[in-house]
Amino acid sequence: MKKTVIPSIISLLFACATTFTSRADNPTPYKLPTAHAEAVEASATFMENSFDAVRAFSPFASMDQTETIVKSDDTNGGIINELTEFASKYLGTRYRRGSSSPKGFDCSGFVGFVFRNFGINLSRSSASQYNEGEKVEKGDLRPGDLMFFSGSRGGKSRVGHVAMVVDVNPDGSCTFIHASSSQGVVYQKFPDGGYYSKRYIGAKRIIPADPKA
């Protein structure tokens, strides 16, 4: 019923608005009475208010509002995109143990540097960073999440390396960026079926999915 009535009302209002507008805009050699001009203006205001009323009761109005809410609540998605783009600017930067500056990074220094640029302060070591944020299952990874691995010198259950996810594929595989001791800041596919797959310990989400969380 609403789908039939509302378009009819809109069509009627549009026709009336066109009639009033055409009469008001057509040039004439005669000066119209003030009362006539006021009537035209009042009619235009009435038509505008009528359109607003129709839109308010339209079943499509709520759909438009929902789309606006979704876009305005997508705050963290924007931050994460900026985060990953910012990190990519340092691809190729050399590895430097104990350093967290563009002159050289170790793994936790690089991650900390990137997040700090967006006002998020993380602990200095990868082991301490593993105690921050919210635990994330491997199948639920998303860009911005931190992945933790055992180091080459410690045991396989002890955190010694950290990386940041920059892309996730539909099959669950992902790409992370990190400061590798052998290559500096690089991208790495995961799972790799080798070194990182065997040393993976877990993941943490520093930026919550819900902006209000």
Residues acting as catalytic residues: 107, 161, 178
- Count CA atoms closer than 13 A to 94's CA, side-chain side: 4
For residue 98, what are the contacts with CB-CB under 8 A and spacing of at least 6? 106, 109
- Which two structure tokens, joined as six digits, stand for 144? 């911005």
Q: How far apart are CA 167 and CA 76, in angstroms?
A: 15
DSSP 8-state class, residue 89: T
Closest C-alpha among 200, 187, 191, 154 to residue 171: 191
Place of tokens 């539909």: 170
